Amino acid sequence: MESFYSPNFNSTKRSKNSIKIIIIHYTGMQSERESIIRLCNPKSKVSSHFLISQNGKVYRLVQDSQIAWHAGKSCWGKYKNLNKSSIGIELVNKGHQFGYTNFRKKQLLSLTKICKNLIKKYKIKKKNIVGHSDIAPLRKIDPGEKFPWENLAKENIGIWHDYKLNLLKKFRKIKISTKQERTKFVRNLNDIGYCCSIKKKSLFIKTVKAFQRRFRRELINGLPDKECLIIAENLSKKAIKNP
């Protein structure tokens, strides 16, 4: 691991037990070099604790005890403005704007190692390992639909549902028609951690998109189908079991 110094963090330190969440990002920039420069430039006012190159090289930019500036205005479960309660990990990827590519094996291997360490050190719950889009759906779409949440969940990093593809296929593209179903879906999203209500329509649509980007990647349109519904219900049960 190589260290660079980013000055983009709060002046006061935080305690170990205030760290509850891991937030995964992509850099969305042309190159690794450009990303490091930006994350360490005092003018950019953004940073993260770690940056992982496509080859799996890990850079430490900000110490865990410092509040790095990566989440912005955000919400997850009972937590708001998550910089203070989270660790930010940036993955080098050009992102949707400059040519979104699959995350490489070596990069994901390093990410897995870092996450396992953090989970152990700070007792981070599975449901609190999230993507930037999960916590700020109005503004962010990273790490995006190519990020392999299902594989990470097999390593006990983040949540995933229990259903096999064959079963899910039956529910694919069946529209949700009743108000009851919609209300239940929102309740399930809230249980998982998503901060949305049915009353704020644009937030609801973008939150559904964030959910789909992560758990229902073939359909990213903001309109939940029955497959979304049963996945959300399964995940909400898991979240409730592990509050």
Contact assessment for residue 227 and residue 188, using Cβ atoms and an 8 Å cutoff? no
Nearer to Zn ion, 56 or 72 (CB): 72
Question: Would you name the residues annotated as active-site residues?
Answer: 90
Give SS3 for 8. Answer: coil
Identified binder of Zn ion from the candidate list 9, 19, 25, 204, rule CB under 5 A: 25
**Exactly one of 134, 142, 191, 227 binds Zn ion (CB under 5 A); which one?**
142
Stretch (H or E) spanning 134 = helix 132-135
Q: How far is Cα 133 from Cα 144, in angstroms, rounded to an integer?
A: 8
Region of 107-115, 136-144, 160-168, 199-207 interacting with Zn ion (CB under 5 A): 136-144
Examine residue 214 and tell whether it contacts Zn ion (CB under 5 A): no
Q: Which is nearer to Zn ion, 25 or 206 (CB)?
A: 25
CA pair distance 4, 90, nearest whole angstrom: 14
Answer for the pair 222, 238: CB distance below 8 angstroms, yes or no: no
> From residue 144 to residue 163, what is the string marking binding to Zn ion with x (rule CB under 5 A)?
--------------------
Identity of the residue, 35 or 66, whose beta carbon is nearer to Zn ion in the bound complex: 35
- The verdict on 134 binding Zn ion (CB under 5 A) reads no
Tell me the CB-side half-sphere exposure of residue 48, using CA atoms within 13 A: 24
Write down the least CB distance from residue 120 to Zn ion, Å: 24
Contact between 132 and Zn ion (CB under 5 A)? yes
Q: Between residues 142 and 191, which has the closer beta carbon with respect to Zn ion? A: 142
Please state the closest distance from residue 233 (CB atom) to Zn ion, in A: 28
Phi, psi of 155 (to 5 degrees): -95, 15
Which residues make Cβ contacts (< 8 Å) with residue 165, sequence separation at least 6? Answer: none
Residues near Zn ion, by CB under 5 A: 25, 132, 142
